[in-house]
Chain A
Amino acid sequence: DQQVKQNSPSLSVQEGRISILNCDYTNSMFDYFLWYKKYPAEGPTFLISISSIKDKNEDGRFTVFLNKSAKHLSLHIVPSQPGDSAVYFCAAKRADTGTASKLTFGTGTRLQVTL
């Protein structure tokens, strides 16, 4: 049962354009959402997060939007750069997970930014 879904396994975007990565979730107990970026041969690194009490969070070129009623979030990268080429994972945390930050991850979207 995939509670966090990234329906696009891959995305190709031209340099300078906007990249939009999507994520859907099914569990209404999720209260915190994160995006991680993963390069080959490296572990995932934290990119940006959003609490369920907000609908938008921005950090430089990266913006995450949350639509709670639709159980949907998206990551916008503007402008896209070749160094953004990586696999992006959406992750979610349940409100009742206690002291450990137990995250549920999506399947990932491979972003390729072309010149």
Chain B
Amino acid sequence: DVKVTQSSRYLVKRTGEKVFLECVQDMDHENMFWYRQDPGLGLRLIYFSYDVKMKEKGDIPEGYSVSREKKERFSLILESASTNQTSMYLCASSPVAGKRTNEKLFFGSGTQLSVL
């Protein structure tokens, strides 16, 4: 089974803090993604990466950055946390396009971040 592991289930941070959310996948997937889930807004893509050291902005990248130094690990960074970044953050991975399951994302369990 594909396993996508997010380092923290719950996180509480203060406004202005630098926050790191870590995600590791064990299936050698090329693609990795960060989404946030908010009530009434569904899942929105923040950033994604299709290879080591490669990244692309999603639909709502403002206030976030990412790092992918190794294939299995994709980190989301909140440079200066704000209260409107309180949300459920979901990491996902998928194999490269062309393979049979390329359209399917495998998600971690999520990190509920509260910024006070």
Query: Residues of A at under 8 Å CB distance from B?
Result: 4, 6, 9, 32, 34, 36, 41-46, 49, 89, 91, 93, 98-108
Chain-A contact segment, one of B12-20, B62-70, B75-83, B103-111: B103-111
Chain B interface helix/strand/loop/mixed: strand
Contact B97 A99 (CB under 8 A): yes
Query: Residues of B at under 8 Å CB distance from A?
Result: 4, 9, 30-31, 33, 35, 40-45, 48, 50, 56, 58-59, 90, 92, 94, 96-97, 102-110
Query: What is the CA–CA distance of A32 and B42 in the complex, to the nearest angstrom?
Result: 18
Q: Please pick, from A6, A100, A101, A104, the residue contacting B104 in the complex, using a CB distance under 8 A.
A: A101
Name 18 interchain pairs, CB-CB below 8 A, sorted by A: A4-B42, A41-B109, A42-B109, A43-B4, A43-B108, A44-B43, A44-B107, A93-B103, A98-B50, A99-B50, A100-B50, A101-B97, A101-B104, A102-B45, A103-B103, A104-B45, A107-B40, A107-B42
